Amino acid sequence: MWRLVLVVLLVWTWTSSALVRVPLRRVHSIRSQLRANNQLSEFLKHHRPDMFNRRYAQCYPPGTPSLRLGRSSEKIYNFLDAQYYGEITLGTPEQNFSVVFDTGSSDLWVPSSYCVSEACALHRRFRAFESTSFHHDGRMFGIHYGSGHLLGVMARDTVKIADLTALNQEFGESVYEPGSAFVMARFDGVLGLGYPSLAEILGNPVFDNMLAQKIVEKPVFSFYLCRRSSNENRGGQLLLGGTDKALYKGPINWLPVTAKGYWQIKMDSVAVQGVSSFCPRGCQVIVDTGTSLIAGPTNDILSLQQLIGATPTNIGEFLIDCARLSSLPHVTFVLGGTEYTLTADHYIRREMLGNRELCFSGFQAVDILSPEGPLWILGDVFLTEFYSIFDRGQDRVGFALAKHSGED
């Protein structure tokens, strides 16, 4: 995410190229828990409005084939109705951790047993002294996210996900996680999938280590994120080493990476109800599985909220009258000459407050400057509709229409 949190990978041996299917699952809404305890307003004063959501479920469209020989799967959970995490192991013998898988960062870190922060006390902590494959580094690192920061020390150890194992993986042991940003998180740490230049921890990010150790079939990973439904809970899938044609339909639209840090590409324009309204001469956008909503420069997003009839609240979110959803305009993102249109059902997030349904805008203001100008972020509100492919071999991002359950 845009320095905000999270995504996944890991490894076997150089003799075993593999394609790993990671089923994604959804979890219970922390936002709902906060509302029930009358804590939501205070919490949102200090956190991004898209920071927490939890609901479990498995997700595959009808007819998805079973895993072929040479593939392995692991259960992954959906955090935030959009952010995804799963279990990995570190060390020998293995110690289990849940990490968020994030295309918007590049570091792997988990809490250390020496961490003294409240957030660490509520999560699993790495016990370096119990691992026979652990290598101490001793250098310090610091990571700043949009809603918090942490400090730690660097180390190396064996990392494993499903049947894939990576040796001598550089990672961070956090020893200080101040504030409440990570206290309520359901994950222990973060596993970034961005380019190495984005990393704060010295050494190869996990996917680069996988490539160096010749573990995956192809230098590609892909995401299939399911839409939210009031009738069924669904998650998605992260596939390491390739793509799954059973999860998308139509051609793949490939766009070159314009800056190798984030998965950054060029966006032609943003149109509301067919009228080009924003970045008409093109702008840069980050494809970020670690950001729940679609984000853009403050002035543009405020104008967009007005165009869709969203009104601000005192908790920092924008609300829309749920009775008006059928009349709301379509919002179209043009990428590589191809139009990607979201209806209100796609960009509005529904929440229940007691017996009352609230409808929240799926757009948020985030100002990120770059040499190419202000950046937009295509987060999970966008990625639930379109299968996304991240190709390190040819430095490109691909999109295809996601094939959801119940669709032809």
**Residue bearing tokens 């892909």:** 222
> Counting every residue, how long is the chain?
408
- As given in the structure block, the two tokens for residue 13 are 């041996």
Q: How far is CA 115 from CA 5, 93, 142, 170, 351, in A?
A: 20, 21, 14, 19, 35
Residue pair 115/125 in contact by the 8 Å Cβ criterion:
yes
- The catalytic residues are 102, 288
End-to-end CA distance of the chain: 32
Tell me whether residue 295 is exposed, middle or buried, using C-beta atoms within 10 angstroms of its C-beta: 0 to 12, 13 to 18, 19 or more: buried
- As given in the structure block, the two tokens for residue 257 are 């990476």
- Report how far residue 260's alpha carbon sits from residue 122's, in angstroms, rounded to the nearest whole number: 35
- Report how far residue 398's alpha carbon sits from residue 382's, in angstroms, rounded to the nearest whole number: 13
- Report how far residue 406's alpha carbon sits from residue 391's, in angstroms, rounded to the nearest whole number: 29
What 3-state class would DSSP assign to 324? Answer: helix
Residue pair 192/106 in contact by the 8 Å Cβ criterion:
yes
- Report how far residue 209's alpha carbon sits from residue 93's, in angstroms, rounded to the nearest whole number: 21
Nearest to 29 by CA among 312, 315, 352, 289: 352
The two beta strands, 386-391 and 396-402, are: antiparallel
Nearest to 268 by CA among 329, 331, 330, 333: 333
Residue pair 109/172 in contact by the 8 Å Cβ criterion:
yes
Q: Name the amino acid, one letter, at 248.
A: Y
- Report how far residue 363's alpha carbon sits from residue 144's, in angstroms, rounded to the nearest whole number: 23
Residue pair 60/235 in contact by the 8 Å Cβ criterion:
no
